[in-house]
Amino acid sequence: MSSTWSNNITFSVFGESHGPAIGVCIDNVPPGESLDMDKLMQFMARRAPKKDKTSTQRREKDLPQIMSGFFNGKTTGTPLCAFIQNTDQHSQDYSKMQSLARPGHADYTGALRYRGFNDQRGGGHFSGRLTAPLCFAGAVAGQILERRGIYVGAHIAEIHKIKDESFDPITVSREDIIAVREKEFPTISDKKGKMMRNEIEKVRELQDSVGGVVECIAVNVPAGIGSPIFDGLENSIAQLIFGIPAVKGLEFGAGFNSAKMLGSENNDEFYVNDKGHVVTRTNFHGGILGGISSGMPVTLRVAFKPTPSISQPQRTVDYSAMKNETIAIKGRHDPCVVPRAVPCVEAAVNIALLNHMMDYPNF
Q: Per-residue pLDDT tens for 268-317?
A: 999 999 999 999 999 999 999 999 999 999 999 999 999 998 888 999 98
What local confidence, expressed as pLDDT, does residue 95 receive? 57
DSSP code at position 246: T
267 within a domain of the structure (yes/no) = yes
Task: Give the residue from 302, 299, 266, 292 showing the smallest Cα distance to 281.
Answer: 266
53 within a domain of the structure (yes/no) = no
The span from the CA of 37 to the CA of 178, in Å, is 18
59 within a domain of the structure (yes/no) = no
The span from the CA of 242 to the CA of 81, in Å, is 22
What local confidence, expressed as pLDDT, does residue 96 receive? 64
Q: Which domain holds residue 243?
A: 99-357
How does residue 118 score in pLDDT terms, banded at 50, 70 and 90?
confident
Residue 213 belongs to domain with CATH number: 3.60.150.10
What is the number of domains present in the chain? 1
The mean per-residue pLDDT over the stretch 196-218 comes to: 96
The span from the CA of 327 to the CA of 318, in Å, is 10
The mean per-residue pLDDT over the stretch 54-67 comes to: 73
**Span 236-268, pLDDT tens digits:** 999 999 999 999 999 999 999 999 999 999 999
What local confidence, expressed as pLDDT, does residue 154 receive? 98
275 within a domain of the structure (yes/no) = yes
Query: Looking at the predicted structure, is the pLDDT value of residue 51 above 90?
Result: no
What local confidence, expressed as pLDDT, does residue 251 receive? 98
111 within a domain of the structure (yes/no) = yes
Give the orientation angle of helix 37-45 with respect to helix 131-146, to 10 degrees. Answer: 130
70 within a domain of the structure (yes/no) = no
- Cβ neighbours of 38 (radius 10 Å): 8
CA atoms within 13 A on the CB side of 328: 4
What local confidence, expressed as pLDDT, does residue 55 receive? 59
The span from the CA of 285 to the CA of 269, in Å, is 11
What local confidence, expressed as pLDDT, does residue 110 receive? 84
DSSP bridge partners of 25: 12, 81
303 within a domain of the structure (yes/no) = yes
Return mean pLDDT, the chain.
92
49 within a domain of the structure (yes/no) = no
Query: Looking at the predicted structure, is the pLDDT value of residue 91 above 60?
Result: no
One DSSP character per residue, 335-359 reads S--HHHHHHHHHHHHHHHHHHHHTT
